[in-house]
Structure 1
Amino acid sequence: MKRIACLVLLLSASLPCVAQQVADRDFAPAVSPPAFAEGKGPVVCLDEAHHNFHTLDGRFRPFGALLRRDGYVVAPNGAAFDETSLSACAALVIANAQPSDADWNTYPTPTPSAFAPAEIAAVRDWVQGGGRLLLIADHMPLAGAASNLAAAFDVEFTDGFAFAGVNDEAKAKPTLFRLDEGTLADHPILRGRHTGEAITQLRSFTGQAFRAPGAQPLMVLPAGFVSLHPAKAWAFDDATPRVDVGGWLQGAVKEVGAGRAAFFGEAAMFTAQVTGAEHRPMGMNAPGAEQNAQFVLNLLHWLTAAPEQASRRPE
């Protein structure tokens, strides 16, 4: 099996040709009606203290802009996680933390944690006491970098690449999750606060497969999916170990004490980017992902207990 060409890699949320992957600043879906008055919603902190691949002024700019149009206050978090830094946040979003800015191929195996043990304990205690966490970790090595934090919530991230199959054609196939096929699980997040917010299809872009006993599944990988585990990111060949992961997850949520937590194995689906000279859409702006933006809002509404608005729009 040959290494996948860059054209195929552009389907992924994180890739070696990252210079071609930038935020789509023109993506601005309507938010009607907003959940909160402008600037009056809960504070959502996006982690930027752990060499994150996604930041508010970078590839996750559309994520922050979407939440702000819904009334949330969105701010970067540049401090290590502890009781003080977390106290400023109603919800903490961690997207593709990394142990360092070094080239991925220089990382040791297994991938080191992006978070110190004290930070993991602080986040766990904060959620247990009522905090709200959205932990997003993509394919290798990003899943490995977040695996210790996920494990603190009994979630098993897998430091690999989730594909529909092992050949290049399967790897390039869009990953669609559909309610009518059972790959989207019924949940209040999928139903939304009224019928206009209901989600029937989502698209993700490669990512990882994970398991989460005791969590509520949202995105279930279809039968036939495999997780490839190369020694170095994107270096696949016929000897690359693989695991069948049909039925495993790419999205799940759970109640944790007085708090709530959400776990996702793919990041591009939460933002909007363009790649290459052709500005090919990837993320919320891509074909098949037309409902992703509403899903992001529904998820944050569930995490932060946004007010019901069914009365403001008829069923």
Structure 2
Amino acid sequence: MIICLSAILLSIAQLKAQQVADEQFYYPIADPHHRVGNGPLLLFDEAHNNAVTLRGTYAAFSDLLQADGYSLRSTKEKVNLERLKEAKIFISVNALHDPENWSLPARSAFTDKEIEILRQWVFDGGCLFLVTDHMPCGGSVQALAAVFGIHVINGFALRKDGKPEIFSKDKGTLLSNEVTTGSDTEIDSIMCWGGTGFTVPETAQIISSLDEGYEIYLPADANLIKRPMPDYIPRLPGKGFANGAYLRFGEGRMVIFGDGAPFSAQLHGIKSEKRGMNHPSAYQNAQFLLNIVHWLDQ
């Protein structure tokens, strides 16, 4: 999760002060997928109260994909076909209906018109990379994900034991598929930081999934989440829910992931703890991101 559990009770201003991009992060790319600057355009959504920006906590995301040859452009316009036609991939990370309201009911960050435009664009050959996170992010993209047959849970997916969240093929929580075992470098493990889970249609392929070590907490208000977790908060067993998946939709493609932190490189808190692609245990996260984008870029 981009916004950490321990900081939920802080103000938005305090949260921003506690999370900064790690400007020292660097991931070498020996053989870029495209000649630098000549790759297709990736359109990055900054029009829906997104908790991240290309100049902020997703600066490493931008730097990595540009080094791989892609062109990135942020957009502060609502979804429209004119802009989408310019791009190969539309990327939306942690869209929010209202960044100041973290309570139920969930409300969509995207209008019905925007959702239909995106659905039709993907069906006609466009590619969508949708990254969401814990409540209220999950609830803000439920309507958009639903048109692709995906049900996003508006909750907090957390390990019951609080241990680091490593998804691996050895544990059976990272699956072999076109993204993790395709033509690019094979991915054996990735690291996450909470987020949420979702169910997918039979036409989708699961990339990573929650196991019995997880529960998804469903508070009426995010401020109720704390350690130890209050017994009165409803919850679902994590097993059976995905937190990463991809699917073909008409002529297009879509990837969805339930946590925004794995594709960032942050320094977190007063101790500047590494979180994201810069974390020592997340040594394959950067290549995982490249594999996702390469699969979409086909």
- 5 Å-filtered alignment, 1:21-40, equals 21-40=19-38
- Give SS of 2:253's match: strand
Question: Any conservation in 2 of the 1:97–1:142 contact (CA below 8 Å)?
Answer: yes
1:140 to 125, 132, 135: 135
Aligned mates of 1:85, 1:263 — CA distance in 2? 21
1:276 to 269, 272, 275: 269
Aligned mates of 1:104, 1:265 — CA distance in 2? 20
1:128 and 2:123 matched:
yes
1:81 and 2:74 matched:
no
2:215 to 220, 226, 247: 226
Letter in 2 for 1:87: K
Q: Report the equivalent of 1:150.
A: 145
In structure 1, runs of 5+ residues without a counterpart are: 1-5, 306-315
Letter in 2 for 1:135: L
Aligned mates of 1:52, 1:153 — CA distance in 2? 21
Return the offset for 1:234: 4.1
2:206 to 194, 213, 217: 217
1:191 to 181, 187, 191: 181
1:42 to 29, 40, 43: 40
CA RMSD of aligned residues (A): 1.8
Letter in 1 for 2:258: G
Identity of aligned residues (%): 36
Letter in 2 for 1:187: N
Calculate the TM-score normalised by the size of structure 2.
0.92
Aligned mates of 2:34, 2:63 — CA distance in 1? 14
Question: Any conservation in 2 of the 1:48–1:55 contact (CA below 8 Å)?
Answer: yes
> Deviation per CA, 1:70-91, whole angstroms, max 9, x where unpaired?
0000110121112112112110
In structure 2, runs of 5+ residues without a counterpart are: none
Letter in 2 for 1:300: V
Question: Any conservation in 2 of the 1:271–1:283 contact (CA below 8 Å)?
Answer: yes
Question: Any conservation in 2 of the 1:104–1:233 contact (CA below 8 Å)?
Answer: no
Return the offset for 1:8: 5.9
- Give SS of 2:187's match: coil
1:104 and 2:97 matched:
no
Aligned mates of 1:32, 1:7 — CA distance in 2? 33
Question: Any conservation in 2 of the 1:40–1:72 contact (CA below 8 Å)?
Answer: yes
- Give SS of 2:254's match: strand
Q: Report the equivalent of 1:257.
A: 250
Calculate the TM-score normalised by the size of structure 1.
0.87
1:182 and 2:177 matched:
no
Number of residue pairs matched by the alignment: 287
